[in-house]
């Protein structure tokens, strides 16, 4: 549990400095240690949104909402992922 907290805090620090890829990796490591801590899924979803990885962000939010259907952060970040996917689809149609 101590390693989990350390990794999560490192991920949070990386988010604050805008290092989203590295932060997502830290949160992924956290998930290997504890799959029940849903904040790391919503945190990683935030990283994916910042990296324009909308499908991955949506997947993390879907996972949280399957277990905790009232998680506001997961709803909000999933909505942002859907929005990003729609913009990408429109841009691809114009190519």
What does the pLDDT average to over 65-91?
A: 90
Q: Which pLDDT score is estimated for 87? A: 75
**Mean pLDDT taken over the chain:** 93
Q: Domain extents for the chain?
A: 1-93
| Whole-structure pTM value | 0.90
Class of domain 1-93 (CATH, top level): mainly alpha
Q: For residue 26, give every residue at least 6 positions away whose Cβ sits within 8 Å of its Cβ, in sequence order, or none.
A: 7, 8, 10, 11, 14
Q: Which pLDDT score is estimated for 46? A: 98
Look at residue 95 and tell me whether its pLDDT is greater than 60. Answer: no
């Amino acid at each position: 549990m101590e390693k989990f907290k350390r990794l999560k805090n490192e991920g949070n620090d990386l988010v604050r400095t805008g290092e989203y890829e590295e932060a997502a990796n830290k949160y992924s490591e956290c998930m290997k240690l504890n799959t029940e801590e849903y904040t790391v899924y919503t945190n990683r979803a935030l990283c994916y949104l910042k990296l324009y990885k909308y499908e991955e962000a949506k997947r993390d939010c879907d996972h949280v909402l399957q277990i905790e259907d009232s998680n506001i952060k997961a709803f909000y970040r999933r909505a942002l992922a859907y929005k990003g996917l729609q913009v990408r689809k429109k841009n691809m149609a114009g190519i």
